[in-house]
Amino acid sequence: MRKAPRQARSREMVERIITAGRAVLVKDGYDAFSTNRVATTAGISPGSLYQYFPDKTAILDVVIDRYWEQVAESVAASLSDRIGGAGETAVRDTADALVAALEVDAELLRVVIEELPLTRNKARRSVLEKRVGDLAAFYFAARPESSRRPSPTVAAWVLVLSLETLATRWVLDQPANLARDELLDEMVALVMGYLQA
């Protein structure tokens, strides 16, 4: 951001710009995203937008950062709540939380995963993966009987990436032959089989 909003009216303007940026990104896609479209959607002049954001990249950064932060918060909160649980129930609940977090804003997820250049997204996804992976590694280390894998950190990395990919593709593809509960069953089977192998 070019300047931090101090007054309530300025903060409201910035929030309108960010909300409009999200709407334009979802409606028009990454390639058509522009400051003029964001300003029009926000109901402000481009000059007003430029007081706070120097270019479209700055708006995109805030929209994307907020998206990944919301997903990470949701999944991390679910994992933290279940850190004392055990077995298939904890795995299913965690997988369900991941799918639910991605379903909340499936339209934006589609743009972020399928349209944004990898370089714009990789670091943000890595933060999410590390945060969830650290919690999972802590769980495995605290409950050594839950896994036969030699390294809790490696096991967490493998599972986080596997479940993230499955959940993302399921939300985006909506396969007709795989209901949500069936997906969760398959995710549990994958995790439990891997941990006991």
Q: How confident is the model at residue 1 (pLDDT cuts 50, 70, 90)?
A: low
For position 49, what pLDDT does the model report? 94
Do 103 and 17 belong together in one domain? no
Q: What is the pLDDT of residues 68-114, one digit of tens each?
A: 888 888 877 776 666 556 678 888 888 888 899 899 999 999 999 99
- What is the spatial distance between Cα 69 and Cα 101, in angstroms, rounded to a whole number? 11
* Domain assignment of residue 143, yes or no: yes
Q: What CATH number has the domain bearing residue 191?
A: 1.10.357.10
The structure's pTM equals 0.83
Positive or negative: CA dihedral 169, 171, 172, 176: positive
Do 48 and 143 belong together in one domain? no
Do 79 and 30 belong together in one domain? no
Of 133, 129, 115, 131, the closest CA to residue 64 belongs to 115
Q: What CATH number has the domain bearing residue 49?
A: 1.10.10.60
For position 72, what pLDDT does the model report? 82
Do 177 and 82 belong together in one domain? yes
- What is the spatial distance between Cα 16 and Cα 112, in angstroms, rounded to a whole number? 20
- Provide the token pair at 125: 């996804």
- What is the spatial distance between Cα 149 and Cα 168, in angstroms, rounded to a whole number? 25
Number of domains the chain contains: 2
* Domain assignment of residue 1, yes or no: no
Q: What is the span of the domain harbouring residue 79? A: 63-196
* Domain assignment of residue 112, yes or no: yes
Do 69 and 44 belong together in one domain? no
For position 145, what pLDDT does the model report? 84
Q: How confident is the model at residue 117 (pLDDT cuts 50, 70, 90)?
A: confident
Q: What is the pLDDT of residues 159-171, one digit of tens each?
A: 989 999 999 999 9
For position 2, what pLDDT does the model report? 62
Q: What is the pLDDT of residues 11-36, one digit of tens each?
A: 899 999 999 999 999 999 999 999 99
Those residues with Cβ within 8 angstroms of residue 18's Cβ, 6 or more apart along the chain or in another chain: 59, 62, 63, 66
Do 108 and 186 belong together in one domain? yes
What is the mean predicted confidence (pLDDT) over 48-55? Answer: 94
Do 97 and 190 belong together in one domain? yes
What is the mean predicted confidence (pLDDT) over 190-194? Answer: 94
Do 36 and 114 belong together in one domain? no
Asked whether residue 133 carries a pLDDT value surpassing 90, the answer given is no
Per-chain mean pLDDT for the chain: 88
